[in-house]
Amino acid sequence: MTDVVPIGPLIRLARRERGLTQYQLADALAGVSGNDSIGRDEVSRWERGKRVPGPYWQHWLSDVLHVSPDRLATAARLARAMRSHRPDPSMLRT
């Protein structure tokens, strides 16, 4: 069985396994989707867990990274669940 990980680490791992840089992944996504609004900055935000790619980009990530759509969707749900359970930073100030 495949380990369930948040989508950020999953994207990073799959990208590195393919020997792609963040720039190259963004270029590949722009090429297959026909949408040039994607850039390295967005890929970086996904990988760091700052943002979670929606279904549109998950579809293209699946094509480019050869990761099943179901695995990406599960990883996205996990990332969203983890984000919703983070403590509010303002509550940590003393």
Which pLDDT score, from 0 to 100, does residue 64 have?
98
**Model confidence over 39-90: pLDDT tens digits?**
999 999 999 999 999 999 999 999 999 999 999 999 999 999 988 776 545 5
Q: What is the 3 state secondary structure string of the chain?
A: CCCCCCHHHHHHHHHHHCCCCHHHHHHHHHHHHCCCCCCHHHHHHHHCCCCCCCHHHHHHHHHHHCCCHHHHHHHHHHHHHHHHCCCCHHHHCC
Q: What predicted TM-score, i.e. pTM, was given to this entire model?
A: 0.86
